[in-house]
Amino acid sequence: MSFRPRWVAVAAALVLIVLPVPRAAEAAPPAAVALDPGEPALIRFRLPNEAMLQRLVAGGEDLAARPRTQNGAVLADIVVDDARLAALTAQGAEPLQVIQRGSSGAARATRLAAQADTLHFLQAYWWTSNGKTFLQTQVATTATDDPDVEITVTWRTADGATGSFPLVRFEDSGEYQYHYALPQPMPAKPVQVTAASSLGGTSRAITPAVWPGATPPPLPAGYQKDFVDAYMTPVDIKARIKRLARQYPKLVDVINLPNKTQGYRRTAVAYLGDPNAAAVIVESVAFGDQGMNGVQVRTVDPGAANRPLSATYKDRVLTVRLATDTTGKTISTTDDVAAFISARYPQRFRAVVEEGSAGLPMPVAGPARLDDGLQGTEVPKGPWTVQALRIGKTRDGSKPGVLSYSQEHAREWATPLVTLEFAERLLANYATDPATRQLVDDVDIFIIPTVNPDGANYSFNDFNFQRKNLVNHCAGATRDPRYRNSWGVDVNRNYTVGSYFDGYVGASANCLSGTYAGTAELSEAESRNVIALAKAHPNINLAMNVHSYGGYFMWPPGAYKADGRVTLPRPSIDESKFFLDSARRIVGAIATERGTVTWPSYTGPVADVLYSAAGNSADQLYYELGIDAWDFEVGNDRWNETTQQWEGVGFQPPFDEAHAESQEYANGLLELVRVARDRAAAEQ
């Protein structure tokens, strides 16, 4: 390392640059300065006076750059080692800044050793899926603030094979979490892993543990399964619920949940004018199916001078007569027409100016036909009663209760297949399988196959990626039909604990956002229904919310505040152990179907393994009602041996994949019931 040329001067020829200093700078205390033994450094000193500078120059001190004065003191940049730093400090020189450190042998080695980080494995698990062995690791470094730290994991198998792979840094909400990699294919069972970082840190060698390390009892001969053979719309689901209640009257109650949803309905809308030039959006106040689909609206030239803006509504036609000037020319603007329609017919129509059309002359246009735009002709249009199945030999609240609910998000078509396959297995095997009979006798089971039927109907018939419900809280220009596929409330952001309204991350106040939280906590019928069912049946102490996709298994906390990534309170040590131990059992049950393994890195609290989900249902069930609540994300990534890549399956995979998901995750729900039974037995 080289420094600037030594500044040489004689005392008689000393020239100082005098610089004023702001008062704030004068008051700021200097940072502590320390050097390792033998370490050279270029340091800026404040000398008490010019006389000391002259002594240093005369003594051949290694000065770099021209000294300068500040308020009577002298600033000088001097190359020193630790001994010289101590000597100058003793003479009254005050070190202000280490401008540059040197690199001399022992000092450099000492410093590098001090910089080495400490590494620790947070996870090291292996498993076998469909004949292939995988290893997954997470490693944390103490160099949390260094974004350039590189960590490599080295592995060894029982037969002596070795290899390595790099990890990548993971931050969440600006906070370092760990370094990780996706599951890595192994030639055999790994027996040792170590980690090393670019800072010189190394971990201790550890032996990876088998994941999940739990296997349920085998299904008996003659066990009945595979009860789903197609995707099911809410109409199909309602018919299936009705059939199960009729077929198994001694084991099933159907619960009509108290809050009717809006239904598969929307207001009727039309563009009056040319959306590419000048237009007004006219919308019915009532829903389209309430007699407003097909209503026409038009603007006309009255054909006379000095006419005011006026309108008539007759025979399902709204006619707006534009205002004219003294020459008979129409003078109404788009703003005039929109405001007039809304004020003249507030119980029937609302109107806004189409974006980009404000203040433009309103053309003679129409007639335009209002329409709700819904394509599902076979879907009932009225308010929808959400239904739950209650399954059990004893359904009086005396048995431990388990709640499973699905399709909070409309586009997750595979999730009702899971809950209905689960229900069918319990009922069909009750008479022939003693293990199933014991579960149904000992546990009170509640199932909501579709929490969000309106959004699901829209997803099946209009826009398959619809996530939210159909309630449109947008106002003004955001009610433009071009945004129709973005309307609605995210049901799983509308609950009360850790909500957007309390400052938690993961939901939005934007009505067009995919995570729109609604106008207030529990503003939506769909979310109120889930909580109403749980409150009405206080024997429910376990719950599973079935989502897709990605292959996650999660529990609270599910949300945090951004500043400092402060989560909702963590479960106790005992509760955390119960969550994880139960997860291992359930993940093991899922894997028995076709070898699908939910990754250990995808198993844990929602806020840690997925993201912050402000106002989700599991948090409210857990923190407010004391229910141990989990979340599935069915649809695990699949390993492609040809490409050596993990591949996602999506919200609506080909039915063969969705069918397989229903079978394996129904296994998981059955294990959840066993967990409930076993815990109740242990508490007796």
What residues are annotated to the active site? Answer: 633
Tell me how far apart the alpha carbons of residues 499 and 507 are, in angstroms, rounded to a whole number: 8
Q: Backbone phi, then psi, for 15, in 5-degree steps?
A: -120, 125
Distance, CA of 443 to CA of 463 (rounded, Å): 39
Question: How many Å apart are CA 523 and CA 500, to the nearest integer?
Answer: 13
Instruction: Count CB neighbours of 75 within 10 A.
Output: 22
- What are the tokens at 147? 């974004």
Q: What phi, psi does 196 have (nearest 5°)?
A: -135, 145
HEC string of 81-103 equals CHHHHHHHHHCCCEEEEEEEECC
H-run or E-run covering 555: strand 552-555
Residues sharing a CB contact under 8 Å with residue 66, sequence separation 6 or more, in sequence order: 7, 15, 16, 17
Structure tokens at 167: 């990890």
Please tell me the distance from the alpha carbon of residue 629 to that of residue 235, in angstroms, as a whole number. 28
**Contact partners, residue 681, CB within 8 Å, separation at least 6:** none
Q: Provide the 8-state DSSP code for 11.
A: G
382 vs 461: CA distance, rounded Å: 16
DSSP per position, 264-312: S--EEEEEEEETTTEEEEEEEEEEGGGTTTT-EEEEE--SSSSPPPEEE
C-alpha–C-alpha distance, residues 665 and 650, integer Å? 16
Helix (H) or strand (E) holding 21: none
**Residue 147, exposed/middle/buried by CB under 10 A (0-12, 13-18, 19+)?**
exposed
Contact assessment for residue 417 and residue 546, using Cβ atoms and an 8 Å cutoff: no
Question: What distance in Å separates the CA atoms of residue 354 and residue 320, rounded to the nearest whole number?
Answer: 17
Give the residue from 544, 561, 558 showing the smallest Cα distance to 448: 544
Q: If you count them, how many residues does the chain have?
A: 684
Strand ranges (DSSP E) for 91-160?
Answer: 94-101, 119-129, 132-141, 151-157
Counting Cβ atoms within 10 Å, is residue 150 exposed (0-12), middle (13-18) or buried (19+)? middle
Give the end-to-end CA distance of the chain in Å, rounded to a whole number: 74
